[in-house]
Amino acid sequence: MFGGLENIKKMPRKRAVVLLSGGLDSTASFLWALKEFDEIKVVFFDYSQIAYEAEKRSVYRIAQKYKIEVFEDKVDVLKKIAHPLKDENAIKARKSMWVPARNVVFLSHAIAFAEFYGFNAVVIGFNADEGADFPDNTLEFLDAFNELLKMTSPVRVVSPFVQKSKAEIVKYIYNYDRELLYLVHPCYLNEKLNCGRCESCLRFKKALESLKELKLDYTRIFLEN
């Protein structure tokens, strides 16, 4: 159920680096890691994504609420190449949001950081909905990545929601700390609130539609409802 979890059970003192972008999957994974690990640190990536400022605001609000330190890492290679998360027109047209090797690059950066500081796990927020579209969001990818790591690093990658739907992930955040659903920024654009129209916002809305009983205030989440 939990991708990679078997690896962390054996760890004597469990310390994890959590990749946090302010989106739903990474926020739920962050909350899960707070419970499961003795110590965590957050890594946030600047890869010239349009939503950078909004994501950063969200990441710091979430991490600081739980007194967790944030390390920001610039990913030069993704800053230098064209990718759709830099392109407002592509985002608005809901084109494919594939960024070349993004999760491989992010994980590699986080693993270097974790290994250097003696942390034994990296936690990343994959989910079943995006796993259907992106091969680097799947349990198979995670297992293959951990196999590769056996050859080169003591760090293992864990993704607790890899087989969970977006709605289950929203529900998890709600049950842990519902106020965080007003702090998250899964949106691809850099607005004060989530735009309500990009692909990521539509996934969020669809999840919320199936969770009407939570009675969340949409005006605090989206610019356009």
Q: Are 14 and 172 in contact (CB under 8 A)?
A: no
When the beta carbons of 16 and 193 are compared against Zn ion, the nearer one is 193
Residue with the CB atom nearest Zn ion in the bound state: 187
| 44 within 8 A of 182, measured Cβ to Cβ | no
If the CB atoms of residues 3 and 196 are measured against Zn ion, the closer one turns out to be: 196
Which CB sits closer to Zn ion, 102 or 197?
Answer: 197
Size of the site for Zn ion (CB under 5 A): 5
Residue 97 as a binder of Zn ion (CB under 5 A): the answer is no
Stretch that binds Zn ion, among 23-31, 46-54, 128-136, 191-199 (CB under 5 A): 191-199
Q: Is 173 in the site for Zn ion (CB under 5 A)?
A: no
Half-sphere exposure of 168 (CA within 13 A, CB side): 11
- C-alpha distance from residue 46 to each of 43, 61, 129, 205 (Å): 10, 17, 24, 26
Looking at 82-90, 128-136, 144-152, 183-191, which segment touches Zn ion (CB under 5 A)?
A: 183-191
Pairing relation of β-strands 15-19 and 121-123? parallel
Is residue 207 involved in binding Zn ion (CB under 5 A)? no
CB nearer to Zn ion: give 169 or 198: 198
User: Could you list the residues that contact Zn ion (CB under 5 A)?
Assistant: 187, 194-195, 198, 201
